[in-house]
Structure 1
């Protein structure tokens, strides 16, 4: 629709004033019909349609619906629509309060100016005050150039409040349209970022600028599409469409507490723990051959309620799995090596992915279950030049500073630095378990024999029977050193258990740890390596 100039004041009786209020609300809620049609043509919903699709029906309460920019004329006053490019308010998701804002691309392209920033900050502060999650739906043309530095100030205010809310309430960002320049830094600082295939993009510098500065030819999709961002670790989930994005975030919120002082929803009750038929399948998961691959998600599905695992950042550092699940109806964060990728070895990306997830769980009092099958850190010139020393240590540092209940299960390899970094007892993990298939050692048998028995191997090679001697030495070393029992004897492992007992033993440990108290010296905050 084409709006008419909106009066600054009204006159007349009560009925006339109520009619004027209704008209202003109608203008606010409809926006420009031409812009709405363009939005729909791109397969995108409008801001209000998105909020209605995300929240429980009929629960949305809008805040600042009649706000307008205060920066003067934009040429034609008929374009001065109410709402000023963002819809803000609060409602319920599965009956629980959530604060939400959705940038409105039908009004000034959803660009961010002073009033937009004020609206978003107001609803963020409300979320901090009452202790409920913040969900931001981003679809914007970026900074409102007409408002100059006020637009930059708006972005900075939003960024400040994201920092203020961090670790206090969960923050989720949905990128459902373009997000460029300074607009990407806010979502990147929130806890969870979701994008949608085909319709969403995010990057710091656009293709035209890159072409002008570097000469590189790159498309929007190559530069900032969902697959690019997912592979870079910028996105936790890529949705097929907007409905899928909303469904995923609704599911995510069901795993999380409303704030850092509350507990996550409890969907179960304690029952008598006993081994069931499904548990016995775990006894056959680990191959007899030490270098044969298997899928760690299979182990996870055996352990968690209904086999449901909400994986995050699946396309980034796939050698380490992270995500949320439930055990006895209670939320648990899971970190696990994935032998299907790089044999489960740790590298820079996996270390940073795991460290950030541990911090997220620790901030919101979510217990951590670690499943270990790690041959160590990935060797190579690229990793060393990329800062493996300072970036790789983030993972063990995160374990060392976390205070939530933590349980670690070593299912197969736990070699060298990988043993130390994946939730070992020495970082004060509460309960450490191992399967009989666990191999806890400085290094694997092949590498150890090459170092320890170099002279014997040289003599055997001269005699022509080096292969037989090597195999015998490896078998002897693995039988003596690559077992869980030396660690158990020293108390580094609390118990060696059959795989089929894992679900029960982890559940018992988490039951006992529910009243765990935070310990450690008083300090302002730790200083994680960057």
Structure 2
């Protein structure tokens, strides 16, 4: 497959290494894993879990690009009996490693299918967006959906108030050709949305914050979800369109102890490393490190747009004002009135896209209804993008 540049599809239904064969079975599994790694980033690899996938057998799918699990299948390193003996916890096959668990909690599964037929349909749909190998361009599919189509419905979907939620998937469906969007990891880390679509016939990867879930905040799981997807898209020459609306990275003791710094840095690394065309649209909130991480100019994004509703700042206006004017508000009879006054002043001066545009960090403040047209024009302009190779090195050291 590597030599011919053809994608690999693996169908898994295995209990793992055969005990009777001993180390020879382990060596055989290791050779499969080695082949997976050699093919990584060269050809797309898709795994379909159609039954049990236990022990060593579960590592091969994990090394592939996408995992599709059929309902009723399961994956785990050690089964329920071993878990019971080692920890005293009783658990069923489904609870330990079923499709719903891996689709929503662990993130091992990218797609969940109700049947084998649906799994195969997902494969066909997925491959329609991808090149056969890393040397080819993604497939172009002509469309009768006008590239200059206005998306005036966005005014009804997206509230001007950055504190009010909306479903970013509705915006994505307005932007892409004929509303067709193939979401990846739809049940995992829901504060971020990633998936494939087409704009004017061009296959694109879409990365977006989801204000409907925790205001679009980026937590550990969302960091891993975004970073891995961005790296896949870069490996296979797929342009990356980023829609930004996030208040920042998730605060909390559990997040800090879980390594949100390290995991958040994966997004920074993935975007900075990517050399495919990168187009970013800041819709509303873009605060602090999350603004930088979500495909900003600082990380070599090629074209950066913002809606008039965008708020680009070191932190949210409310928090910034309370910190900057804390002493002043302590010494006045009506601190809330001062807060409102300073809040408006801060929004006018800092929490808007025009200061960023003035400094050259935003290329254009656009009418939201023209977002599809603007992204298409950017894709055409960047279709001949060429990046000089980085200095000689074996590989970068992403913070895993």
Q: TM-score range by the shorter chain?
A: over 0.9
CA drift of 1:154 comes to 1.0
Which residue of 1 is the match for residue 101 of structure 2?
Answer: 228
Between the aligned partners of 2:369 and 2:113, the Cα distance in structure 1 is: 35
> Which stretches of structure 1, 4 residues or more, deviate above 6 A after TM superposition?
269-272
Between the aligned partners of 1:314 and 1:158, the Cα distance in structure 2 is: 29
CA drift of 1:150 comes to 1.6
Q: Which residue of 487, 507, 514 corresponds with 2:383?
A: 514
Between the aligned partners of 1:169 and 1:275, the Cα distance in structure 2 is: 34
Between the aligned partners of 1:336 and 1:522, the Cα distance in structure 2 is: 33
- Contact 1:175 1:193 (C-alpha < 8 Å) held by counterparts: yes
Q: Which residue of 358, 373, 381 corresponds with 1:504?
A: 373
Which residue of 1 is the match for residue 397 of structure 2?
Answer: 527
Which residue of 1 is the match for residue 183 of structure 2?
Answer: 311
Q: Which residue of 308, 316, 337 corresponds with 1:436?
A: 308
Alignment of 1:168 with 2:42, yes or no, is yes
Between the aligned partners of 1:453 and 1:258, the Cα distance in structure 2 is: 57
Which residue of 2 is the match for residue 200 of structure 1?
Answer: 73
Between the aligned partners of 2:213 and 2:148, the Cα distance in structure 1 is: 33
Which residue of 2 is the match for residue 254 of structure 1?
Answer: 128
Structure 2 CA distance for partners of 1:382 and 1:271, relative to 1, 3 Å? closer
1:67-216, aligned counterparts within 5 Å? Answer: 127-197=1-71, 199-216=72-89
Between the aligned partners of 1:374 and 1:366, the Cα distance in structure 2 is: 24
Which residue of 1 is the match for residue 215 of structure 2?
Answer: 343
Residue aligned with 2:233, SS: helix
Which residue of 1 is the match for residue 266 of structure 2?
Answer: 394
CA drift of 1:480 comes to 1.7
Between the aligned partners of 1:131 and 1:481, the Cα distance in structure 2 is: 50
Structure 2 CA distance for partners of 1:472 and 1:308, relative to 1, 3 Å? same
Which residue of 2 is the match for residue 467 of structure 1?
Answer: 336
Residue aligned with 2:231, SS: helix
- Contact 1:283 1:498 (C-alpha < 8 Å) held by counterparts: no
- Contact 2:146 2:200 (C-alpha < 8 Å) held by counterparts: no
- Contact 1:182 1:204 (C-alpha < 8 Å) held by counterparts: yes
TM-score with structure 1 setting the length: 0.74
Which residue of 2 is the match for residue 406 of structure 1?
Answer: 278
CA drift of 1:290 comes to 2.4
CA drift of 1:275 comes to 3.9
Residue aligned with 1:369, SS: strand
Between the aligned partners of 1:524 and 1:518, the Cα distance in structure 2 is: 18
Residue aligned with 2:261, SS: helix
CA drift of 1:273 comes to 4.6
Deviations 1:45-79 (A, max 9, x none): xxxxxxxxxxxxxxxxxxxxxxxxxxxxxxxxxxx
CA drift of 1:204 comes to 0.8
Residue aligned with 1:176, SS: strand
Between the aligned partners of 2:372 and 2:94, the Cα distance in structure 1 is: 43
Structure 2 CA distance for partners of 1:343 and 1:272, relative to 1, 3 Å? closer
State the aligned residue count.
398
Which residue of 2 is the match for residue 293 of structure 1?
Answer: 165
Between the aligned partners of 2:129 and 2:143, the Cα distance in structure 1 is: 16
Between the aligned partners of 2:145 and 2:21, the Cα distance in structure 1 is: 61
Deviations 1:9-34 (A, max 9, x none): xxxxxxxxxxxxxxxxxxxxxxxxxx
Residue aligned with 2:131, SS: coil
Between the aligned partners of 2:335 and 2:47, the Cα distance in structure 1 is: 59
Deviations 1:196-238 (A, max 9, x none): 11x2000111110011111111111110111111121100001
Between the aligned partners of 2:266 and 2:341, the Cα distance in structure 1 is: 39
Where in structure 2 are there 5+ consecutive unaligned residues?
Answer: none
- Contact 2:143 2:177 (C-alpha < 8 Å) held by counterparts: no
Which residue of 2 is the match for residue 68 of structure 1?
Answer: none
Of structures 1 and 2, the larger Rg is shown by 1
- Contact 2:147 2:199 (C-alpha < 8 Å) held by counterparts: no
Which residue of 1 is the match for residue 195 of structure 2?
Answer: 323
- Contact 2:67 2:108 (C-alpha < 8 Å) held by counterparts: yes
TM-score with structure 2 setting the length: 0.97
Which residue of 2 is the match for residue 384 of structure 1?
Answer: 256
Deviations 1:181-209 (A, max 9, x none): 11111100100000011x20001111100
Between the aligned partners of 2:135 and 2:262, the Cα distance in structure 1 is: 32
